[in-house]
Amino acid sequence: MQALAREMNLSETTFILPRDPAIEAKEGKKVRIFTVAEELPFAGHPTLGTALLLSASDSATDSRESAQVTLDLKAGKIPVHFTAKSENAGRKRVDGQVSAKCANAILNSE
């Protein structure tokens, strides 16, 4: 993964790892974050972007309603909540509010 992140040459690259659906339901989506030089335990923009992608690609979720995606990062489990704020929200458009409860994970990773 580090070699691929280096090759992509982006500020951060996320990898969503497959896991057993029962474990995923309990623990969340396994995600690792890399820069070109190292693996990061947590990074805000990649966390929110990855959660948004997973939420938008979940066909069982109607994005006009509240949804949550939990990411299992090196820093810990990060729940990301999506709340629609208008009638414009839907499968092809994100229009709402996003919040991540990550203060404990950040503090615990230091």
Catalytic residues: 12
Kindly report each contact of residues 37-45 with a partner whose C-beta sits within 8 Å and lies 24 or more positions away, as own/partner: 37/6, 38/2, 39/1, 39/2, 39/74, 40/12, 40/74, 41/73, 41/74, 41/75, 41/109, 42/73, 42/74, 42/75, 42/78, 42/102, 42/105, 42/106, 42/109, 43/12, 44/100, 44/102, 45/12
